[in-house]
Amino acid sequence: MPARPAPVGSGALQLPGGWRVLGIAAALLVALPILMLLSQWATLGNGEQAIWQHLYDTKLDRLAGNTVVLLLGVGVMVTVLGTSLAWLVSVCDFPGRRIFDWALMLPLAIPGYVMAFVFLGLISYSGPLQTWGRNTFGMDFWFPDLQGALGVILVMGLVLYPYVYMLARSAFNAQGRNLLDAARMLGLSPFGAFWQVALPVARPALIGGGALALMETLADFGAVAVFNYDTFTTAIYSAWYGLFNLAVAAQLSTLLLGFVGLTLALEHYSRKHARFTLDERSRESQRFRLRGARAWGATGYCLLVILFGFGIPTVQLVLWTAQTWRGEMDSRYPEFLLHTVELAAIAALAAVAIALLLALIRRMPPGRWRWLEQLSVRLATLGYALPGSVLAVGIILAFTTLDQGLHGIIGQRQVLVGSVFALILAYLTRFMAVAFAPLDAAFERIKPSLCDAARSLGASPGRVLRRLYLPLLRPGFLTALIIVFVDVMKEMPATLIMRPFGWDTLAVRIYQMTSEGQWERAALPALTLILVGLIPVLLLVRQSARRQGQTAD
C-alpha cells in the first residue's frame, strides 16, 4: 500500500494510567543526570564568568566552526554512504549483494577511537604509507593532508554510516517495489522515483539514523582527541582539566544538548505530523537487476566501503596483535570479556524496556500531563549528545546526594556511587536515544487503522498491545537491543569513571594502553571487542534475513 498520511491521535493507545506514571518516572530517572548538569548553571560566579570570557576571546569561535565543519562533513558522508548503500542492497541486485547486505553493517562493531588510532597510525608522516611513498618517490612525495578535518570526517563517517544504513535499509525494504512501480508508471525516471518518492517516504528513517550519527559526533572525544581536532568538546575538557572548573564544563555541555534539542524539535516541526505507513513487504524476485559496468560498479563501491570501514582496520589490528599478544594476554582476559558482555546485556535490556515505555506514553491519548510526558521523553533521549565523562559527573553528583540521604536511613555509605546500578544508569542516559529511535520508528510504521480495527472488534488494550503491537514491533526491538548492546560495549569514558571496583572491561583496557601511546598493545583488546561486537551484529543480520524470508513466501 502506498504512503498515506494519517491524522495524529487516531489509534491512540488506551492503557491504564499506571503506565503513564511508570513511563514518566522512568524518563525522569534517565534524565536525572541531565537535570543535574543543568543545575550547574546555578554556579555562575566571577570565576565562571572569567572562564567564559576567556573561552569566548580565544577559541570558542574556532571550536564552534570546527564542530560545524565536522557535523556537516560527517552528516553528508553518513547520509550519502548510508542511503546509497541501503538503496543498492535493498532495491537492486548485483554480484555479492547478499553478502554486502550484512557485511555493510560490520563497521558498527569498530569503536570510533580504535578506528582513529589505526587510521592515524597508517597515514601519519612516520606511518607505513608515507614512509613507503618517500622511499619510492623521494622526499617530495605528495600525500593528502588527512590529519585534519578531512581525516576525522572520514574516520567518523566510516564508523557511523551504519546507523543510517540500517534504518534506511529497513525503510527501503518496507517500501517494496510497488511504490516505485507506481512512480515509474506515472512517468518518473528511475532516479526521479528514488528522489521524489522513495527518499521522502524513507525520510523519518534517514533523519533518525543521521541524528544518531551526528549526536555521537558531537559527544565524541576519543576520535577527535587522537587527531587533535578541536571541537566543542575540547572546550568542555579545557574548562575542566585545564582551568579546573567543572561548573563551566557542565554548562558548556548543556549548550550542546540545547543545540541538539533545538535541531530535533525543528525537524519534528518541519515534518508537521506527516506520517507514512506501509505494508511490510519485500520481494527478492522484484529487485532491479544491474548488469555490466553498473553491476560491477555497485560491487566495487560496496567492497571499497567495507575495505576501509572494516577490512583495513581489522587487518592492522591483527598484525599488531600478532606482535604483542604474548605480553598482553593474561589470566584476567576472560574477566574483561565477561564484564563487557554482562554490562552491555543488562544495559541493552533495560534501555529497550524503558524505550518501549517512552514510545507507549507518547502514543497514549493526550491528558493533563501531556507536556510533562513530552518533555520527559525529550530530555531522556538527549543524553546521546553528552560526552560520557561529563554525563558520569552528572550521575555522581546526583547519587552522592541520594547516598547521603540513604546513609541516614540504612547506615551504609556510598551505596549508589560506584555500584553497577549507577553505571547502568549512565548507559541508559547515554544510549536511550539509540534504543528509542528504532522502536519509535517501528511504532510509526504501524497503521493506526489496525489498532482501531482491533479495538472495534472488542480487543482489550492489553490484548492489542500483546497481539498486535509487540509482534509488529519485533524488528524494532531487536535492532534497538543490538545497537545498544554494541554501543555499551564500545563505551569508554563513563565506564572508566563509574565502573565498580574490579569491573574492568575491554574498553577500559584499550584506554589504559592508548592513553600512554601504546597503540600496538591496545590491539588485542580492540580486536576482541570487535569480534564480540560482531556476534550481535550478525544476529541482527540473521533476524532481518529471516524476516525477508518470512514475507517472501
Rounded to the nearest 5°, which phi and psi values hold at 126? -90, 5
Q: Of these, 263, 374, 512, 551, which contacts another protein (CB under 8 A)? A: 512
Q: State which of residues 77, 179, 354, 541 lies at the interface with another protein (CB under 8 A).
A: 354
Interface with another protein (CB under 8 A), residue from 6, 199, 375, 416? 416
Nearest distance from C-beta of residue 481 to another protein, angstroms: 7
Q: CA dist 475 to 58, 179, 341, 436, 457, Å?
A: 49, 22, 22, 13, 26
**CB-nearer residue toward another protein: 268 or 474:** 474
Contact positions with another protein (CB under 8 A) in 464-483? 470-471, 474, 477-478, 481
**325 lies in the binding site for another protein (CB under 8 A):** no
Instruction: Tell me: does residue 61 bind another protein (CB under 8 A).
Output: no
Q: Which is nearer to another protein, 468 or 535 (CB)?
A: 535
The three-point CA angle 333-336-542 to 5° equals 100
Q: Tell me: does residue 334 bind another protein (CB under 8 A).
A: no
CB of 89 to another protein, least distance (A): 22
The Cα 408–Cα 420 span in angstroms is 22
332 is a contact residue toward another protein (CB under 8 A): yes
**Residues 485 and 424: beta-carbon distance below 8 Å:** no
Tell whether residue 530 is a contact of another protein (CB under 8 A).
no
∠ CA(381), CA(447), CA(273), 5° rounding? 55
Q: Is there binding between residue 25 and another protein (CB under 8 A)?
A: yes
Q: Where are the beta strands (DSSP E) in 250-362?
A: 288-289
Among 268, 370, 407, 467, binds another protein (CB under 8 A): 407
123 near another protein, rule: CB under 8 A: no
The stretch near another protein (CB under 8 A) out of 1-9, 22-30, 79-87, 298-306 is: 22-30
Buried b (16+ CB within 10 A) or exposed e, 229-247: bbbbbbbbbbbbeeeebbb
The three grid cell numbers given for residue 127, joined into one nine-digit string: 606511518
Find the binder of another protein among 94, 240, 431, 443 (CB under 8 A).
Answer: 240
CA distance 442 to 474: 8
Task: For helices 149-175 and 199-219, give the axis angle rounded to 10 degrees.
Answer: 150
Q: Which stretch binds another protein (CB under 8 A): 207-215, 310-318, 363-371, 420-428?
A: 420-428
548's CB contacts (< 8 A; 6+ apart) are: 173, 282, 284
User: What are the beta bridge partners of residue 92?
Assistant: 288
Binder of another protein out of 171, 202, 503, 534 (CB under 8 A):
503
Q: Which stretch binds another protein (CB under 8 A): 82-90, 131-139, 152-160, 176-184?
A: 131-139
Nearer Cβ to another protein (115/341): 341
